[in-house]
Structure 1
C-alpha cells in the first residue's frame, strides 16, 4: 500500500496557519484530508472553526505540544489513523499536522524516521511555514522559535502582505532567503494558495527530484565561495550577508559544492562526527553527492541527529558530476564543515 503523504504546517503565533488550513479543507480539490492539530488548554477553538462544512477527520491533542513534550501522542495519533484507514473506518489520502505557534518542527519531522510504525505508513511530504509579513521581522528578531520554523521550511508562505508596502515585503523576503535559501517564498493572501503548491510537493524528500534547486547556491556563489580552490584559501568565513541587513539571525544556511568526488569512507566518518557533535543545532541538511567510483547519484538528507542516504538516478553521459550540499542550522561553524568536507574529497 502506498505511503500516506503528510504535511507539517507551522508558523509563529498569529501568522495565519488556521486561516490557511480552513481554506484547504473547504476548497473542492478532491483530496480527503485528515488533520492532526495541537492546542494548549482543554477547549479547542480551532476545532469549531475547522469542523464547519468539512467532512475531514480531525484528531486533537489538547495536553501539550506535539513537537516536544507529547511527541508520543503524535505517534499514537498517526498509528490510530492508519489503523482506522486500513480497517475502512476512515477514508483519507493525506495528513496535515498543524503545530502550535511556538513549536520547533524538528522533532515532529524526526518522528517520521524514528518510529517504525509511522515510517511504514507515512511519507513526510513537506514542511510549510506561514510567516506574518506585518510582524515577521520583529518575531524573527525576538524569538528563536520563529527562526527555526523558517529554517525547517520546504516552502514559505507570506500572510498579511496587504498590511505592508513593497519595500517591507521585499526586505522580509530577503531575510527569509538568507535564513533558508532552499525554500521558495510565496504570498498567501487570507490563505489563498493553489492546493498543488501545498500538498504532494515532495519538498522534504529529495528522491522525487534527485537534484538541488539552483537557487540553493545563488547566495554562496555571490559571495565568491568556490570550494575547489587551494586548501590555503581562507575566504570561506567571510559573511557578506551581514552587510546587506542590520539583522543577525542565529539560524543561517550555507552550501558546499565540488566537482571532485568524495571518498566514501572519509565522508561517512566525517558526517558521523558532524551529527554527533553538532546534530542538535543542525536543523535541515540535504544534497546530492558525487561518490568516487559511483555511477549513480547519492541522495543525502537529515534532521538533527537523524541522517540518511539513498541511491539516486544514474549520472547522465554529458552531465557534470558534482556534489551539492546545503546545511541550515543554529550557529554552525561553517569553516569546520567546509574544510572537513574538502578533506573528504579524492
Structure 2
C-alpha cells in the first residue's frame, strides 16, 4: 500500500514534554484530518525512575501524561522494589495502564490502537485498583483528582466554571477527562483536555436504566483538591 501508513510513532527525546505533540492533533486541522492521536506511551526504567522523579520534572510530566507506561528492566529490581516504583507511578497517574517488561518485550497491540483520546472511550476513566482499596504514595507536587456526583449538573454553570478553570490553571492541568449528565439533556456529554485545549461533544443518549452520574478526572500539579470538589458540586443543578 504505497504511501499508506498503519500508524506513525512520534518518538521524543528522553526528557521531553509530550503535551505540545498531543496538542497539535487538537489544533492543526491538516494533522487531525489525516491522523488521530491514539495514545501517549512512556517507557520508565524500573531501577532509576524513583531518582529521576526527584531530579527531572520532565520525568514526572511524562508519567502524568501517559496512557500506557512500560515499566522496563524489571530484571534489575526485586519484587519489593518493583512494587515501590509502581506505587510512585500510581501516586502521579492512577489511570495509565502499566506493563512490567524486560527489553520492552510487549505485544504491539498493548501499545498501538489504544484509542486513549477517542471521546467514545472516555468512559474508561475509572481505575480498577482504586476500587480495590490499594494503598499508594502521595505525591506532593502532582495529583489526580476524581470529581463525581449522581445529581444532574447545570450545563451553563459547569461549562463556565470549567473553561475558567482551564484558562486559569491550564498550565498545571496536564490531562482532563469527563462524562457529564446535564439537567434536561438526554445525551451524555463527554470531554477531554490537554492543558488549555479542550474537546467536548454530546456522545449518545443515556440508556434506560443507566445510572446518570457525572465524573471529571484531572491530572495536574499543585491542585487544590477540596476547592475543586466544592466548585464541582456548586455546578449541580438546583
Give how far 1:222 is off.
5.4
Q: How does 1:209-228 map to 2 (within 5 A)?
A: 209-215=121-127, 218=130
Q: Which residue in 1 is equivalent to 2:41?
A: 128
Extract unaligned runs of 5+ from structure 2. Answer: none
Give how far 1:248 is off.
3.6
Does the 8 Å CA contact 2:125/2:177 hold for their aligned counterparts?
no
Q: How does 1:22-101 map to 2 (within 5 A)?
A: 90-101=3-14
Bigger Rg, which one? 1
Higher helix share: 1
Q: Which residue in 1 is equivalent to 2:182?
A: 291
- Cα deviation, 1:140-165, whole Å, max 9, x if unaligned, reads 11111000000000111100000000
Equivalent-residue separation in structure 1 for 2:192 and 2:127 (angstroms): 18
- Cα deviation, 1:18-41, whole Å, max 9, x if unaligned, reads xxxxxxxxxxxxxx9xxxxxxxxx
Give how far 1:214 is off.
3.3
Give how far 1:110 is off.
0.5
Does the 8 Å CA contact 2:122/2:190 hold for their aligned counterparts?
yes
Equivalent-residue separation in structure 2 for 1:152 and 1:216 (angstroms): 19
Extract unaligned runs of 5+ from structure 1. Answer: 1-31, 33-87, 224-240
Q: Which residue in 2 is equivalent to 1:280?
A: 171
Does the 8 Å CA contact 1:147/1:249 hold for their aligned counterparts?
no
Query: How does the TM-score come out when normalised to structure 2?
Result: 0.93
Does the 8 Å CA contact 2:53/2:59 hold for their aligned counterparts?
yes
Does the 8 Å CA contact 2:176/2:216 hold for their aligned counterparts?
yes
- Cα deviation, 1:77-133, whole Å, max 9, x if unaligned, reads xxxxxxxxxxx5x23121100011110011110011111111111100000111100
Residues 126 and 261 (structure 1), Cα distance of their counterparts in 2 relative to 1, 3 Å cut = same
